[in-house]
Structure 1
Amino acid sequence: MTRNVDLNSDMGEGFGPWKMGDDAALLDIVTSANVACGFHAGDPDVMDRTMRTAVERGVGIGAHPGFADLKGFGRRNLPISHKELVNAVAYQLGAAQAMAKRAGGKVRHLKLHGALANMASVDHALARVCYQAALDVDPDIVVMVLAATAQEETARELGCNWAGEIFSDRAYNDDATLVDRSLPGAVLHDAAIAAPRILEMLKAEAIITNSGKHIPCQIDTICLHGDTPGAVAMARGIRQHLSEAGITLAPL
């Protein structure tokens, strides 16, 4: 099988002296980095360090906005108005753009984080206000969407640049949403299981759910969470498996 695909990871999710994930090691493996913008995680120093390393290694930079919820790591659903969300997304993207420019790079894509992303995957109106806020700041930005969900449908309706994303380390429900992290088997940790599964999805051009259902979709990028245990080994194993199968990993 011969084709190109992006391998992305969420990064810059430490805060002050507290570290989350091995960003330096992951940036030797992945082709795009979704950098936290200080709301759910990250701070200006962490953003600067992460983005400078990404630029040095030719890794694409993306903004990764989420809820202002450091304690919950952005993974708790918050009842926030659309107006507040618009400002939050624009604010975080602007911060990412400024830090990327200072680091000698550029923000090329945007990907919603955690609970905000999960909510937008089933709520068209929520997805629309978040994406429109980003497009108001940068009309050419690539919106990274959870493939075959309300996120993708909204991006298509907006007519913006978008990239369909699937997850290498998360299990899927039959509606293309992610299995809740609190449930057994929701998060995968073994590359020997995850890598063949991803290759099968690429060949089928479809998400394959826990039940075995195939959901046809456009796959432009594969996500690996940088904060999960063994993330570096997982990323290395997935990259090797895909490369050996003829897949070329390249930034969006």
Structure 2
Amino acid sequence: MPLRRLSRAILRSRFAARLGAALAAGYIRLVHRASRWEFLGREHVEALNARREGFILAFWHNRLLMTPVVRRQTPKRVFMLISRHRDAQIMAEAARPFGVEFICGSTANPKKPDKNKGGAAALAQMIAALKDGAVVGVTPDGPRGPAEQVQAGVIRLAHYAGAPILPGAWSTSRGRFLNTWDRFFLPAPFSRGYFVAGAPIDPPTDGSPEAIETRRRALEEALKEATRLADAAAGRARGADRIG
């Protein structure tokens, strides 16, 4: 086997995936424990925790890494929607030690309508979890983007389940935006960190295109504002690419 093919086989192996997940989980713990954190908007989470019904936690794809840490902010079961992509599976295994459970599926790619990504099954599982009182985390601009543009799927989920959406974000004073489609934010240890929860957005009362679009725009603005507040609290210029 040529060296290049052997290297690719090793990198795609189950061992490499487990190693990557362990390293990611260790890094999340390091950043969390070696930084000072403050939670802004905690009252919004507490109000939703007091309800029997579940709620949807929405955050941008590029702020994915530290979200497992907020699992401790609720006594409810917490699920996360992930795609079947290998990188997403690694992130899922990294978050599992924090008590996060997963629902595997993805939105359909309009360019590949014949490719089943488990979207219908995932939707049914999310609706059931929400009606059972759990929290379901989603990245409404993932897994393909465009970055920081809410797709309508999360609004339809809220409508079907009758669940409110909690817009969330986090930021740290030290870190770097990576050169990826979403400009993934990699936080650095020894930071000042901030989690931000915005006011919940109620589900649309009907599934009309107008009602879905109204809530979609509202969620997009709320997520942008939560991210702006988190970055401002951390002393980080929006989109600034720096470590310290």
TM-score bracket, normalised by the shorter chain, equals 0.3 to 0.5
- Structure number with higher helix proportion: 2
Larger radius of gyration, structure 1 or 2? 2
TM-score (norm 2): 0.33
TM-score (norm 1): 0.32
